[in-house]
Amino acid sequence: APLLEVSLPLYFGWFLLSSAQDKVKCMALDFVKTLDTLDAFKKHLMDFTGKAEAEVDLEHYFKAKGALHCTTKFCNYGKADGAKEYAQNPAIKDFYGSVSELSLSALFVTPRTVGARVSLTEEQLQLWPADAEKEAESAVPAAASLPPGSRAHVTLGCADGVEPVQTGLDLLEILALQQEGQQGETVEEMELGGLAYYGAGRWLLSLREPIVAPACFSSYYG
């Protein structure tokens, strides 16, 4: 390749500043540890273990996956569909290196992942790829009918053998259920907000006060 060819990153996204990373990791740990102690959670342990009598230690069930971030576009060094077009969007260049506040509006846990839902502002949505939700259609058929930005999340941890791409898919599944009119079974008012159960091991904590996390729009080369 010619030397001056610009190479594309593994992905673009917002990277939480280190103080925000610490805060979010702490809240996530508190959440999973508390969830683990709830009778409602214990009642549905089968979802996690596949066995009736087994126990699960949620704190160690999920493994952290590098620096906390909210992916906008997974480029796979240019091999992903639309990667080059995304990188060439003037908004990407304009906002590259800028810091904005991510609003984390919910925390969720499934047998595969733990993550935070990110509610993007109009300005942040300018950096959101138009087909991010549609690209999830094979995994979550209703994804394409969800509003842009629905997939925006921060992966907080993954179960053994689970790739972080799963976190956004798990979030879309829950939002698709909500869109169908399922509000989940409210099981508990927790200090941070209402906890709802969506079946199949899916738990969503809607935060009363969103977590505000300053983050830098940038890219990761690995």
Please, which residue, 44 or 134, has the CB nearer to ligand ACK?
Answer: 134
Which is nearer to ligand ACK, 41 or 170 (by Cβ)? Answer: 170
Q: For residue 5, give the DSSP letter.
A: P
Quick check: 148 binds ligand ACK (CB under 6 A)? no
The answer to whether residue 69 is catalytic is: yes
Rule CB under 6 A: which of 2-21 touch ligand ACK?
10-11
Among 31, 41, 74, 197, binds ligand ACK (CB under 6 A): 74
Minimum distance of ligand ACK from residue 15's CB (angstroms) = 11
| 168 binds ligand ACK per the rule CB under 6 A | yes
Q: Report the Cα 206 to chain-centroid distance in Å.
A: 14
Taking CB under 6 A as the rule, does residue 29 contact ligand ACK?
no
- The dihedral built from the CA positions of residue 61, 173, 28 and 184, taken in this order, carries a sign that is negative
Provide the 10 A C-beta neighbour count for residue 121. Answer: 12
Would strands 69-74 and 62-63 be described as parallel, antiparallel, or unpaired? unpaired
Selected range binding ligand ACK among 15-23, 137-145, 161-169, 206-214, rule: CB under 6 A: 161-169
Per rule CB under 6 A, is residue 62 in the interface with ligand ACK? no
Catalytic residue among 112, 151, 153, 202: 153
Cβ atoms of residues 157 and 113 within 8 Å: yes
Q: Which of 69, 112, 151, 202 is catalytic?
A: 69
The type of residue at 209 is E
CA distance 124 to 160: 32
What minimum distance in Å lies between the beta carbon of 206 and ligand ACK?
Answer: 21
Looking only at the bridges linking them, the beta strands covering 203-220 and 193-197 are: antiparallel
Contact with ligand ACK (CB under 6 A) among 164, 178, 187, 216: 164
12-26 core/surface letters (b: 16 or more CB in 10 A; e: else)? bbbbbeeebbebbee
Positions annotated as catalytic residues are: 69, 153
Q: By the criterion CB under 6 A, which residues form the site for ligand ACK?
A: 10-11, 71, 74, 155, 164-165, 167-168
